[in-house]
Amino acid sequence: MVRPECNEFDWRRSTEGGVVPADGYNPVRLPPGRHGRPNRRDNTVSRESSGGHETVHMRPTVAIASSADMALGALAAPLDSTLTTEQVRAVVWHALDLDQSARNLRAIVRPGAWVVIKPNIVTSRSNRQSAYWHEGREHKGQNTDLRVVKALVEYLIARTQPRRITIAEGGAEWAKLGEADTDPAATEDGWTVRWPEYDGLSYSDLIADWAKSRPGLVDVVDLNYSERRFLPVPDPGGTGIGALQRRGAKTRPADRYGRDSYIARTGELRPGYDVPVAVLDCDVFISVPAIKTHLISATSLAIKNYVGISAPLGQAGRMRNSKGDLHRGDIVRGFVDMLAYRPADYSVIEGFWGTEGNGPQWGDDVQHNIVLASADPVAADTIGSLIMGYNPEDLTYLRLAATKRLGEMRPELIEVVGRPWREVARPYPLGRGRSGNAYAGRGVRDWLVEFHGADGLRRAEFASEDRFVDLTLLSESSGASTACCYSEVDCDAPTDVEAWFGSEGPGQVLVNGDLIATAGVTDGHHLGEARARVRLRSDRNRLEVRTERTGDAFGFTLLLCGQPGCLPIGCHYVGVDVLLERAIAAGDPVSVSTASR
């Protein structure tokens, strides 16, 4: 194996005219925050003071309630117990009452408001061919517990004065009765079927009950058949970033690069989406998902719930309402695009029934009696992901949403009220899916790169869009035969990880100067081909990759895993801007080991 002689990185010299860009390459760049993590717009409220109008900056609040809370009194129960409708209602109301922030639900629902509640009803027990009946058994955790929706509507009626409350969803694996292309033999759909696990409730029965006491107040809108409006993807955070998803983007082979490894610059950015008018025009939009794992996004919470508002394919048969159009590119970018049209005014995440393993639709049911409530969907998903055992920094959808300033993903800037998240945490392991390709996180994507070749030495900085660090995207790689790449990961405490390394050509990875693994010597890149246990130290850890070009292929993947494929909680990727700042602030070049080991 040829070992590149890695010189000292003198980034003061290479950045005198500004950061060295990747020629022609314009990825979504993460603005610097702590560890280079993305910032979001400030949470602000306006109020009158003696000096006139002032703006107050506030941290987003996430309220956490559980069935074990002493505040529930005689209704309290263990976190994994089966609850009555009365107990579910008590937990939901407790979570909503715990939120005393300026953006609590009582404050944002003004008198006369039109409120749209978006539960998750992706599958239905009414359709025996749907994933609800996967392997011939019921999967209760695939959908939002109807008792939660009931409790939320009752709370809105009791504590606010809305003009209209609409329950809106576009299920993927069932069709509404009475539509022209619905199976004429069908007698039930997701709205009319009664759910035994949800106390025998149905949406149609609830609407009928509310009509008796509050005529015309509560209705249902099926988003698969409702009016839509085509609009370009907005930029509510003022970041200059519009659409994220590229239709027709090409992927690398999953068996060598992992699930959904999209090739940058392929496909076309979407001009826009058809978005339900109900979502766009309502006064308050509330996302109400169940807690689930997802083999592509890892966690499926308030933001992933937006898949249900996307337009159906409209094909015939049982999948007439399939959301497959959103899968014609990176679905993570697709549902963040959908979020941008109407970031949830409020989110209520429930775990009375949830899903782990091969989520969101083929996994195993979980009973985890917690509710999260927040006016910030990104903050809600951040805390929810921590509870499930996932590092938010390793979740692409959260980083993209925070980069577009749609919410806050930095836990230290989120105020958690009620139960501390660690007290209700429960691991939600992921499965390997039907294809056998397990989830893999973001990996280390930000690098300072030194290329070596016949033309001498060239330097560049690279923030990769994919976990596979494709060095051919950098113009500086032209003519180079080898590369030395430098990054860092910070840890709150000493942490044991398993390093997963794959390289197109012969490659080495060093952690804090010690060679831990080699890969790519025989037949090119394989995700996690070389795996090595290593203890990361508290604070900064230096990562080095040395790799060779093989034909037209030039690149590598490096993941640092607690559970398989996932960065441990308490470890932090370091953005390329911070890497540069640290190198320059050190006062002398950032040294990279030159010894051949």
- Given a cut of 50, is residue 583 above it in pLDDT? yes
Look at residue 141 and tell me whether its pLDDT is greater than 80.
no
In the chain, ranges of CATH 2.60.120 domains? 11-37+440-585
Average pLDDT over every residue of 128-148 = 80
Exposure of 525 in the CB half-sphere (CA atoms within 13 A): 27
- Beta-bridge partner residues of 242: none
Tens-digit pLDDT profile for residues 219-278: 999 998 899 999 999 999 999 999 999 988 999 999 999 988 899 889 999 999 999 999
State the Rg of the chain over Cα.
Answer: 25
Q: Judge whether 348 and 371 are in contact, CB under 8 Å.
A: yes
Model pLDDT for residues 5-56, shown as the tens digit of each residue: 555 444 433 333 333 333 333 333 343 344 444 433 345 444 444 445 444 4
Token pair in block for residue 18: 């500004």
Token couple for 336: 């963040």
In this structure, are residues 290 and 250 in contact, taking their beta carbons and an 8 Å threshold? no
Rounded distance between C-alpha atoms, residue 559 and residue 566, angstroms: 8
- Could you tell me which of 256, 320, 201, 138 has the C-alpha nearest to residue 503? 256
Closest CA to 62 of 336, 285, 371: 371
Q: Which of 422, 365, 351, 376 is nearest to 145 (CA)?
A: 351
The Cα-based distances of 140 to 128, 173, 193 in angstroms read 14, 15, 14
pLDDT in tens, 294-346: 888 999 999 999 999 988 765 434 344 556 677 777 899 999 999 999 999 99
Name the β-bridge partners of 511.
Answer: 514, 543
Give the per-residue pLDDT at 585. 82
pLDDT(194) > 50: yes
Q: What angle do CA 426, 323, 290 make, to 5 degrees?
A: 25
- CB atoms near residue 237 (< 10 Å): 19
SS (H, E, C) 310-370: CCCCCCCCCCCCCCHHHHCCCHHHHHHHHHHHCCCCEEEEEEEEEEEECCCCCCEEECCCE
Is the distance from CB of 160 to CB of 106 less than 8 angstroms? yes
Q: How many residues does the chain have?
A: 597
* 414 backbone dihedrals φ, ψ, rounded to 5°: -115, 130
User: What pLDDT, on a 0 to 100 scale, did the predictor assign at position 127?
Assistant: 73
pLDDT digits (tens, 9 = 90+) for 336-374: 999 999 999 999 999 999 999 876 777 788 999 999 999
Q: Read off the pLDDT of residues 78-103 as tens digits, 9 standing for 90 and up.
A: 999 999 999 999 999 999 999 999 99
Is residue 546 over pLDDT 70?
Answer: yes
The 3-class secondary structure across 440-490, one letter per residue, is: CCCCCCEEEEEEEECCEEEEEEEECCCCCEEHHHCHHHCCEEEEEEEEEEE
Map tokens 């339900």 to a residue.
276
Helix, strand, coil percentages, rounded to 5, for the chain: 25, 30, 45
Residue 437 is predicted with a pLDDT of: 67
Q: Residue 417 and residue 57: Cα distance in Å, rounded?
A: 18
- What pTM value is reported for the model? 0.89
Contacts of residue 41, Cβ cutoff 8 Å, sequence gap at least 6 = 237, 238, 405
Look at residue 597 and tell me whether its pLDDT is greater than 70: no
Q: Which fold has domain 11-37+440-585?
A: Jelly Rolls (2.60.120)
pLDDT mean over 194-201: 92
**Among 149-153, 194-198, 380-384, 508-512, whose mean pLDDT is lowest?**
194-198
Q: Name every residue whose Cβ is closer than 8 Å to that of residue 352 and which is 6 or more positions away in sequence.
A: 83, 88, 91, 145, 147, 148, 367, 368, 369
pLDDT over 90 for what percent of the chain?
A: 66
pLDDT of residue 587: 60
Residue type, 6: C
- Strands of 194-325 (E only): list them: 218-222, 228-231, 246-247, 268-269, 273-276, 284-288, 290-294, 298-300
- pLDDT of 8 reads 47
